[in-house]
A and B are shown apart, each in its own frame.
Chain A
C-alpha cells in the first residue's frame, strides 16, 4: 500500500518539476518581449519609457543569468509569488487567479461528479439490456464527439437567445454585486446552468461508454459464470459486476480532470464566465505572460492534487492495492 502511494507521489513530484520547468522555459525562448508590452501601456516620453523599461527589467529579474532566474522562479513559487499581472497591473497574479478559481470550480466539479454518476448508471443499464444497448451506444458516442464549445454555443443560442430563458454571459448580472442574498443566488444559478450543462452533457457519453464496456467484461467473467451456475440471481451477479466495474472508473476520474481542462476553458470563453480558463484567454490575448504562466501552473497543481486524492480513494476501494499486490494497471 505504501509502495503504491510513494510511487504515485514520486511521479507527481517529477511531473510538477517538469511542468514548472516547461512553464518557465518556453516564454524565455520564444520571440516577443513582455516588458516592452508593459511599457507601451504607459504612454509617455521616450526617455521615461527607456528608464521604465530598464527598471522593469530589473524588477522582473530578467537581467540575471538564466540559471539564477530559474532558481528565483522556484523560490518565488514557494513563497506564493507568481509575479504581477500585466493585464491587470498592478494586481499580483496570485490574487487574480484566486478570484477566478471559485467560478471555475463551481461549474467544473458538479459537472464532473454528476456526469460520472449519471453516465455510469446509464452505461450499466445499457450493458444489462442488449436491446437498449444497440440504440443507446451510438448516442453515447455522438455525445462524446461533440466539441464542448459547440454545445455551449448551441445551448446559448437555443435556450438563451431563441427561447430567452437563460442569460448567456458572465457569472451574474452587471447590476449585482456578489452577496448571499436570495436574489443574487438565483441570478447566479441562472448564469450557471448553461455552462454547467455544456460540460455535463458531453461528459455523460464518455462515462457511459466506459461503464458499459466494463460491466460487459465483468458479466462475462468466469466468476460471474460460476455464481450463475451455483444458482445466484441476476441481481447478485449484477451487484458484483458493478462493484468491480466502478473501480477503473474511479481512476478515470483522475484522468478526466486533465482532459476536462480543455472543455472548461472553451466553455468559459463561450459564456464569458470569469473562471481560470477565461483568465488564460485574456492573458493570451493581452500578451500577459506572467498571467499565462501563473494560470498554467495553477492548472497543473490542481490536476496533480486531484489525481493524488483520487489515487488514495482508489486504494481505499480496491483490496488488491491495499494488500500491495501489483494489481493496479494504471
Chain B
C-alpha cells in the first residue's frame, strides 16, 4: 500500500489563558491510499485538532513542530495562504458543525457556484457531476434553489457531504459526522462514506469519532488516541478483537455488545479522567488510570511496531 499522507512527530498546541495546552504532542502515523482510517478517543484526546490541523490551522491552534507529507511532498500546514492550493481539491473537510456550515442568506446553488469559482472552475462544468452526487445521497436537484434554513438537519448533512467531495479530493477529513445522529442514521451516513470511497469519489478518508462501534462498520484501520498521543494503531478487526493497549482494552470493554446479557459481565467505564494537557504528567499519560502501571511507566513508552501494521505505545506489551 502506498502512503498518501505521512504525519511525523507532529506537535500542535492550543494557546489558552493559562498556558499552552499540548493538544497534539509528537504524533506519528500514516494514512494509506484508498483507506478509511478511523481516529478514535475520548473528548480532548486531540483527534479533532489533528483533523483540523491538516486543512485549516488557525489561532488559537499553533503549529509547533513536526512534518506532514502528502504524496511525498511537504504539506505547508502552518502557511495559511499556501494551503489554499490544497484545500478542497486535494484535502477536504466535513466539519463538526455541518448543520451550520452554510451561509443562511444565500441559495445553495449560489454558494456552490461561488465556492468552485474560487478554484477557477465554472459552475456549468461541474453541474452534471453535482446532480449525480445529489442523486447518490438522495437529495433532489431542487435544493440548489433553496436556502440552507429550508432544509432539515439530515438533509444539510448529506448536502455538506456532496459539497465537500465535489472536486474529488484525495483526502477527506470527516470530523464527528455521526455524533449527533441516532443509530439508524449513523449507519446510513457511515455507509454513504464507504460508498464514496468505494466509488473512488474520494481517495482516503480520516474518520474522526469517539464511537468505536461506527468505526467497526466502515474503517479499515483504527488509530486510538489518548491525551494528545497515539496509544495504538492497527487493522479494525484486530483492534476490536484483540486490543493490546490497556486504554484500548478498557474502551472495547466499555462497549455494549448486542445479544449479551450483562448479568454475566458488567459494563465498565474507565475510572478517573484524562490528564491536564497544559501540564501533562511525565511518562505514560494513561498511567494514573491504568490497572497495569508500574515504575517503568514513569518513562514515556515509544510507539513500537510489534507486528506488521500493528503499533502500540505501552511497556507492558511484549513483541508477539
Return chain A residues, CB-CB under 8 Å to B55: 229
Question: With A223-B100, A229-B87 as given contacts, are A320 and B95 in contact (CB-CB < 8 Å)?
Answer: no
Question: With A222-B100, A325-B149 as given contacts, are A244 and B95 in contact (CB-CB < 8 Å)?
Answer: no
Secondary structure class of chain A's binding surface, majority of residues: helix
Query: In whole angstroms, what is the CA distance A320 to B106 when docked?
Result: 10
A250 CB to closest chain B CB (Å) equals: 12
B61 CB to closest chain A CB (Å) equals: 12
A205 CB to closest chain B CB (Å) equals: 27
**Once the chains bind, are B89 and A231 in contact (CB under 8 Å)?**
yes
Q: Is B319 an interface residue (CB 8 A)?
A: no
**Once the chains bind, are B95 and A227 in contact (CB under 8 Å)?**
no
Of A226, A240, A247, A323, which one neighbours B147 at CB under 8 angstroms?
A323
Return chain A residues, CB-CB under 8 Å to B97: 222, 225-226
Question: With A247-B105, A319-B147 as given contacts, are A226 and B118 in contact (CB-CB < 8 Å)?
Answer: no
A window 113-159: CB within 8 A of B: none
**Once the chains bind, are A222 and B88 in contact (CB under 8 Å)?**
no
Return chain B residues, CB-CB under 8 Å to A229: 52, 55-56, 87, 93, 95
Chain B residue, CB-CB nearest to A243: B105
* Count of chain A residues with a beta carbon within 8 Å of a chain B beta carbon: 23
A290 CB to closest chain B CB (Å) equals: 48
**Once the chains bind, are B95 and A225 in contact (CB under 8 Å)?**
yes
Q: How large is the interface on B (under 10, 10 to 19, 20 to 34, 35 or more residues)?
A: 20 to 34
Residues 246-278 of chain B, each 1 if its beta carbon lies under 8 Å from chain A, else 0:
000000000000000000000000000000000
Q: Is B115 an interface residue (CB 8 A)?
A: yes
Of B105, B115, B119, B147, which one neighbours A227 at CB under 8 angstroms?
B115
Query: In whole angstroms, what is the CA distance A30 to B291 when docked?
Result: 85
Query: In whole angstroms, what is the CA distance A225 to B102 when docked?
Result: 10
A216 CB to closest chain B CB (Å) equals: 14
**Once the chains bind, are A240 and B103 in contact (CB under 8 Å)?**
yes
Return chain A residues, CB-CB under 8 Å to B95: 222, 225-226, 229
A314 CB to closest chain B CB (Å) equals: 12
Of A231, A236, A240, A318, which one neighbours B87 at CB under 8 angstroms?
A231
Q: Is A328 an interface residue (CB 8 A)?
A: no
Return chain A residues, CB-CB under 8 Å to B164: 230
Question: With A233-B84, A319-B147 as given contacts, are A223 and B103 in contact (CB-CB < 8 Å)?
Answer: yes
Q: Is B150 an interface residue (CB 8 A)?
A: yes
Query: In whole angstroms, what is the CA distance A319 to B88 when docked?
Result: 28
Q: Is A228 an interface residue (CB 8 A)?
A: yes
Q: Is B209 an interface residue (CB 8 A)?
A: no
> 7 tightest CB-CB pairs across the interface, nearest first?
A231-B87, A226-B101, A222-B100, A231-B88, A222-B97, A229-B56, A230-B88
